[in-house]
């Protein structure tokens, strides 16, 4: 189990994260917040690339900084910018990554074959990476992060640049990986985690806003989201969340404590909740 205990991170005078406490157990966690909210800072502390200014991060009760290599041995990490050698094939690149992790050659080859199969790249294992699409490269990155069969898999904005088909494929892949490990993935794309994350961590104003299931987060706005026809004048207390295409043309999705005239509430989705939560701070 991974615990973040009262962690604060300051860059000089600027507080990027303040007093964050979180506990992670096996399952998929989505780290969702607008750009600049501190997702990467938190991930870098979870991967020991940055140190907390205050507080500590524990794995099964032990400080991850004092665990050193033992902690990194149970960690798989796909950074936002995944570096690779374009003239290597996936097989060569994974062998290289396995050698860096001191995984014996035979074991590495077995694992590489099974991982490339899992990420759907068996047929391209000897094709140079420079010929790969963004989605294929991302799958190579996931295979690298999974080489050591990590107990903790951390993916920083893994779906950036993927097309819709690749996004779906990615979601299925992550779901399969999460059975007996902690998967933490950061994103600002709501739909990427709505269906696969068991818990969603929301950061707001550099603090933890909540860590709840998607259903619980949406439940906060039950009876408060409505659709009204485009062009409706909104009164005080009615806040525009988004425009959408309804059966009869464009509709406005609004947040309101009281029902507007002739409007029935609609079931809030995670995107409504996200827009509602970050509306007040003008963070979007």
Binding site for ligand ATP (CB under 6 A): 11, 14, 16, 33, 35-41, 188
Instruction: Write out the DSSP string of the chain.
Output: -EEEEEEEEEETTEEEEEEEEEEE-SEEEEEE--TTSSHHHHHHHHTTSS--SEEEEEETTEEHHHHTHHHHHTEEEE-SS----TTS-HHHHHHHHHHHTT--HHHHHHHHHHHHHHTT-GGGTTS-GGG--HHHHHHHHHHHHHTT--SEEEEESTTTT--HHHHHHHHHHHHHHTSSSEEEEEES-HHHHHTT-SEEEEEETTEEEEEE-HHHHHHTTTT-EEEEETTPPPPTTEEEEEEEEETTEEEEEEEESSPPTT--B----HHHHHHHHHHTTT--
Rounded to the nearest whole angstrom, what is the least distance from the CB of residue 33 to ligand ATP in the complex? 6
Please say which residue, 169 or 188, places its beta carbon nearer to ligand ATP. Answer: 188
Please say which residue, 48 or 127, places its beta carbon nearer to ligand ATP. Answer: 48
Rounded to the nearest whole angstrom, what is the least distance from the CB of residue 29 to ligand ATP in the complex? 15
Rounded to the nearest whole angstrom, what is the least distance from the CB of residue 145 to ligand ATP in the complex? 18
Please say which residue, 188 or 279, places its beta carbon nearer to ligand ATP. Answer: 188
Rounded to the nearest whole angstrom, what is the least distance from the CB of residue 50 to ligand ATP in the complex? 9
Rounded to the nearest whole angstrom, what is the least distance from the CB of residue 34 to ligand ATP in the complex? 7
Please say which residue, 39 or 171, places its beta carbon nearer to ligand ATP. Answer: 39
Please say which residue, 16 or 57, places its beta carbon nearer to ligand ATP. Answer: 16
């Amino acid at each position: 189990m991974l615990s973040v205990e009262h962690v604060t991170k300051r860059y000089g005078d600027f507080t990027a994260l303040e007093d964050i406490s979180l506990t992670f157990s096996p399952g998929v966690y989505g780290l969702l917040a607008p750009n600049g909210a501190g997702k990467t800072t938190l991930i870098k502390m979870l991967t020991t690339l940055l140190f907390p200014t205050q507080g500590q991060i524990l794995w099964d009760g032990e400080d991850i900084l004092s665990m050193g290599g033992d902690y990194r041995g149970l960690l798989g990490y796909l950074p936002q910018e995944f570096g690779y050698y374009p003239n290597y094939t996936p097989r060569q690149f994974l062998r290289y990554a396995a050698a860096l992790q001191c995984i014996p050659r035979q074991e590495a080859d077995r694992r590489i074959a099974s991982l490339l199969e899992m990420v759907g790249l068996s047929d391209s294992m000897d094709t140079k990476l420079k010929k790969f699409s963004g989605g294929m490269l991302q799958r190579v990155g996931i295979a690298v992060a999974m080489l050591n069969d990590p107990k903790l898999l951390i993916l920083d904005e893994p779906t950036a640049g993927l097309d819709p088909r690749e996004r779906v494929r990615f979601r299925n892949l992550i779901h399969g990986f999460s059975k007996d490990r902690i998967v933490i993935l950061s994103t600002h794309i709501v739909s990427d985690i709505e269906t696969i994350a068991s818990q969603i961590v929301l950061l707001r104003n550099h603090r933890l806003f909540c860590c709840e299931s998607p259903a619980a987060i949406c439940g906060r706005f039950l009876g408060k989201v409505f659709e009204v026809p485009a062009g409706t004048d909104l009164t005080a207390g009615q806040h525009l969340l988004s425009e959408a295409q309804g059966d009869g043309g464009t509709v406005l999705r609004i947040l309101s404590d009281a029902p507007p005239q002739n409007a029935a509430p609609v079931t809030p989705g995670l995107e409504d909740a996200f827009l509602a939560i970050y509306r007040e701070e003008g963070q979007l």
